[in-house]
C-alpha cells in the first residue's frame, strides 16, 4: 500500500473492528467444523452446513472485505469515505445479524430469530452498499477496477435479497419453485457475483502494486468483467426459466473463460514483478492456484447432470468448500499480512515518519507463525478435499484439526499486530 497516498484513509476505529470480528469468526468456524466434521459428508442442505456457510460468508469473508474496502477504496480512489458513522452502524448490524443467523441455523430455528438475524444482516449490507456507492460517486477517474467493485456490491445486494426471501419462505412458503433452486442461485450470486468479482477488482489493483509490476494489459480485465457477469446472468435466467434445456455447461464455460482472463492478468503481473514474494504474497498466489479446482468442478457438474446422488453431493461439497476455503480464505490469509500491518503501522507511526527510526509494517507480525499457518492451511485443504471425495471421515477430521490450527495461528498474528505498542522515538 506504499504506492498510494493515505491522506483519505478512514479512522482505524472504523476498519479494525471488522478484522477482529472476522478473525474470531474464522476461529469459531474452524472449531465448529472440527466438532461437526461428519456433516461434510451429508446433503449440503442441512442445519449445520447452513450455519457454517453463513459464518464463513458473512462473519469471515464479507466482514473482513467490508473493513478492507473501507480502508482501500478511499485510498485507491483518492476520496474520503462517505460516512464513518454509517460504516460503524453497518458493522454492528452485520455482526449481530451473523451471530443470530448462525445460531438459528445451527438449531434450525426457522422462525422469529432467524428472520430477525436476516433483517439485521441485510440492513448492514444495505448501509454498506450505500456508503460504498456514495464514496465511489466522488471519484472522477472511473476504471475497470471500479467497475468490478461496484458490480460486486450490486451482486451482494442481490444475494441478500434472495437470502432474506428464502428465510421468510421457510415460514410462509410463497416462492413458486423449489427451495434448492433459490439456494443454488443464492450461493452463485454470493460466491461468483460478490466474492469473486470483488477479489478480481481489488486484486487487480493490489497484486501488481505489492509485486512492483508495471504496464500490465488491462484489456484482459475487461474480458473477465463481461464474460463473468454475462455468464452469471445467463446462468440464472437459464435456471429460472429454461431448466429443461441442457446448456448450463455453456454459461459455465463463459464464467471460466472470464476467470482465466484474470488469471492470465495475474500471471503477466507475476512475470514482470520486481519484488520478491513474501509469505503474504505466496498465500495470495496459492489462492489463484486453488481457483482452478472450483473451475474444473463447476464444468464437471454442469456437463454431468446425471451423476449418481451420493457422488454428486460430495462433488457439490468440494465445489463449495474449495470456493470458500480455497480461493477466498487463502487470499484473505495472505492479504491480511499485507493490509492489517500497514493500517496499524500507519496509525502508530505516521507522526514519526522521517523523524526517527521506526519498524517496517512486516515487523509487526511473526513471519515464523505465518509460515506455519500457511503449511497447516495447505494440509487442511488437501485432507478436506481428499476426505470428502473418498468419504473418509478420518481424513476430514484431520483436515478440520489442521484448519483449527491455521485459525489459531492466524489469530495469534492478528492480535499481535493489533496490540503492537509503538516504540518511543529516540531523543
CATH code: domain of residue 306:
1.20.210.10
pLDDT, tens digit (0-9, with 9 covering 90-100), for 302-351: 777 666 667 777 888 888 888 888 888 988 998 898 889 989 988 887 76
Q: Give the DSSP H/E element, type plus range, for residue 310.
A: helix 309-321
Give the 3-state secondary structure of residue 28.
Answer: helix
Q: Which residues 6+ apart lie within 8 Å of 407 measured at CB?
A: 26, 27, 29, 30, 31
pLDDT of residue 6: 61
Query: Residue 277 has what pLDDT?
Result: 63
Cell of 301: 457438474
Q: Could you tell me the residue range of the domain that residue 37 belongs to?
A: 12-417
Comparing CA positions, the residue from 398, 253, 336 lying closest to residue 20 is: 336
39 confidence band (pLDDT: 50, 70, 90): confident
Task: Tell me the CB-side half-sphere exposure of residue 403, using CA atoms within 13 A.
Answer: 29
DSSP 268-310: HHHHT--S---HHHHHHHHHHHHTHHHHHHHHHHHH-TT--HH
DSSP category for residue 146:
H
Number of domains in the chain: 1
Residues of the chain with pLDDT > 90, as a percent, come to: 50
pLDDT for residue 16: 96
Is the residue at 7 inside a domain? no
Residues ≥6 apart with Cβ < 8 Å to 230: 254
> CA nearest 69: which of 52, 54, 86?
86
Domain membership of residue 153 (yes or no) is yes
pLDDT number for residue 273: 66
Q: Is residue 427 part of a domain?
A: no
- In terms of average pLDDT, the best of 71-75, 124-128, 199-203, 317-321 is 124-128
Question: 304 phi and psi, to 5 degrees?
Answer: -130, 65
Residue 164 Cα to chain centre, angstroms: 20
In a domain, 82, yes or no: yes
Contact 307/267 with Cβ under 8 angstroms?
A: no
Rounded to whole angstroms, the Cα distance separating 349 from 80 reads 21
DSSP 3-state assignment of 6? coil
Least reliable range by pLDDT among 60-74, 100-114, 204-218, 395-409: 204-218
Residue 425 — very low, low, confident or very high, per pLDDT cuts 50/70/90?
low
Given a contact cutoff of 8 angstroms between Cβ atoms, the answer to whether 289 and 328 are in contact is no
Q: Report yes or no on 423 lying in a domain.
A: no
Let me know if residue 2 belongs to a domain. Answer: no
Query: How large a percentage of the chain has pLDDT more than 70?
Result: 91
Q: Is residue 81 part of a domain?
A: yes
Amino acid at each position: 500500500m506504499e504506492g498510494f497516498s493515505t491522506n483519505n484513509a478512514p479512522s482505524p476505529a472504523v476498519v479494525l473492528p471488522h478484522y477482529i470480528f472476522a478473525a474470531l469468526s474464522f476461529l469459531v468456524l474452524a472449531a465448529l467444523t472440527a466438532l461437526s466434521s461428519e456433516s461434510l459428508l451429508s446433503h449440503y442442505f442441512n442445519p449445520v452446513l447452513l450455519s457454517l456457510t453463513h459464518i464463513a460468508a458473512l462473519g469471515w469473508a464479507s466482514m473482513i472485505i467490508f473493513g478492507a474496502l473501507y480502508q482501500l477504496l478511499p485510498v485507491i480512489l483518492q476520496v474520503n469515505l462517505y460516512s464513518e458513522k454509517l460504516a460503524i452502524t453497518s458493522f454492528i448490524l452485520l455482526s449481530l445479524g451473523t451471530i443470530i443467523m448462525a445460531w438459528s441455523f445451527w438449531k434450525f430455528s426457522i422462525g422469529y430469530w432467524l428472520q430477525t438475524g436476516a433483517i439485521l444482516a441485510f440492513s448492514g449490507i444495505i448501509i454498506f452498499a450505500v456508503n460504498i456507492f456514495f464514496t465511489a460517486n466522488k471519484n472522477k477517474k472511473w476504471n475497470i477496477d471500479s467497475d468490478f467493485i461496484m458490480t460486486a456490491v450490486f451482486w451482494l445486494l442481490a444475494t441478500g435479497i434472495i437470502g432474506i426471501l428464502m428465510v421468510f419462505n421457510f415460514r410462509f412458503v410463497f416462492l413458486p419453485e423449489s427451495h434448492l433452486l433459490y439456494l443454488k442461485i443464492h450461493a452463485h450470486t454470493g460466491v461468483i457475483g460478490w466474492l469473486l468479482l470483488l477479489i478480481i477488482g481489488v486484486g487487480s489493483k493490489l497484486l501488481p502494486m505489492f509485486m512492483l509490476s508495471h504496464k500490465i494489459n488491462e484489456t484482459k480485465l475487461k474480458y473477465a468483467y463481461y464474460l463473468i457477469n454475462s455468464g452469471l446472468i445467463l446462468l440464472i435466467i437459464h435456471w429460472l426459466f429454461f431448466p429443461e434445456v441442457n446448456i448450463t455447461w455453456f454459461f459455465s464455460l463463459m464464467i471460466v473463460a472470464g476467470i482465466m482472463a484474470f488469471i492470465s492478468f495475474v500471471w503477466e503481473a507475476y512475470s514482470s514483478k520486481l519484488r520478491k514474494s513474501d509469505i503474504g504474497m505466496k498465500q495470495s498466489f496459492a489462492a489463484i492456484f486453488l481457483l482452478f479446482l472450483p473451475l474444473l468442478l463447476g464444468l464437471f457438474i454442469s456437463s454431468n447432470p446425471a451423476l449418481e446422488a451420493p457422488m454428486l453431493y460430495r462433488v457439490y461439497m468440494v465445489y463449495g468448500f474449495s470456493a470458500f476455503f480455497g480461493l477466498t480464505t487463502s487470499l484473505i490469509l495472505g492479504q491480511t499480512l499485507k493490509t492489517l500491518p500497514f493500517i496499524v503501522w500507519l496509525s502508530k507511526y505516521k507522526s514519526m515518519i522521517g523523524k526517527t527510526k521506526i519498524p517496517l509494517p512486516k515487523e509487526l507480525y511473526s513471519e515464523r507463525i505465518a509460515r506455519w499457518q500457511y503449511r497447516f492451511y495447505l494440509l487442511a485443504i488437501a485432507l478436506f478435499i481428499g476426505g470428502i471425495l473418498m468419504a473418509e471421515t478420518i481424513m476430514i477430521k484431520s483436515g478440520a484439526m489442521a484448519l483449527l490450527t491455521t485459525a489459531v495461528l492466524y489469530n495469534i498474528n492478528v492480535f499481535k499486530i493489533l496490540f503492537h505498542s509503538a516504540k518511543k522515538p529516540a531523543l
